[in-house]
Amino acid sequence: MSHPAHRTIDRTRLIEALVVMAFAVILFAVTFSFKKVPPILAQGIQPTVFPRAILAIMFGLGVIQAVTALRPSAEDLEMLKPKGPIPLIVVLTAALLIGFVALMPVIGTFPALALFLPALSLLWGERRWRLMALSFAGFAGFVYLLFRLIMNVPLP
């Protein structure tokens, strides 16, 4: 038996649903900026039709998600686990990855590798310097062999 008095709102799911609905609405609005083509060229289906249909479905799914968030079942409530904030290490890892990609065209692939590989390894708690030096030097050699010599890719 469900007890309405004990029901709560699944806030995380509600926020997810609202994000999905907002995303669908914004992109639906963007489709109005698509150029229109004469019916004969569009062969009956304008280029906006398919994306709009998907966005409408997406919005509908968002509504279902919102409704289930407002009326979670007993089973859902049992599974409700508060999500902590994103760990700092994830944010820093993502920042390092973005930094690596931004540095690649500026200082070159191999100098960027020389900075990124030990930086990420250190961030993740590795302190065995000899292992790091050997592994990453070997990896850089492998990259040179594979991309420059075998595949002939002009790396930045």
Partner 1 sequence: MEPFLLVLQFLADPYNLFIIAAGTLVGLIVGALPGLGSVILIALMLPFVVRMDPTTGIALCAIVYCATTYGGSITAILINTPGTPAAAMTTFDGFPMAQKGEAGRALGIATFSSAIGGILGILVMIVATPLLARVAYHFGPAEFFALAVFGMSMLASISGNSMVKNFIGGAFGLLLATVGTDLTTGIERFTFGQADLYEGIAVVQIMIGIFAGGELLRQATQTKVKRELVAEGVTKLPSLQDFKAIWRTVLRATGIGTFIGILPAEGGKVAAMIAYNEEMRWSKHKDQFGKGAIEGLAAPEAANNAATGGTMVPTLALGIPGGGSTAIILTAMLILGLRPGPALFAEQPDLLAGIFGAMLGANICFLIYGMVGAKFFSRITLIPTTILWPCVICLAALGAFSLQQSMFDVGVMVFFAILGFFLNRHGFAPAPIVMGLILGELIETSLKQSYLIYDGNLWAILQQPIALVFLLLSVVGVCGPLIAKALGAWRANQAALLTGNDE
Give me the residues that bind partner 1 (CB under 8 A), please: 1, 12, 16, 20, 27, 30-31, 34-35, 37, 41-48, 50-51, 54-55, 57-58, 61-62, 64-65, 68, 73, 83, 86-87, 89-90, 93-94, 97-98, 100-101, 104-105, 109, 113, 116-117, 120-121, 124-126, 131-132, 135-136, 139, 143, 146-147, 151, 153-156
C-alpha 34: how far from chain center: 26
Distance of alpha carbon 113 from alpha carbon 140, whole angstroms = 8
- Whose structure tokens read 């004969």? 40
Minimum CB distance to partner 1, residue 1 (Å): 7
d(Cα 31, Cα 53) in Å, to the nearest integer?
Answer: 11
Residue with smaller CB distance to partner 1, 5 or 86: 86
Here the tokens at position 30 are 């963007």
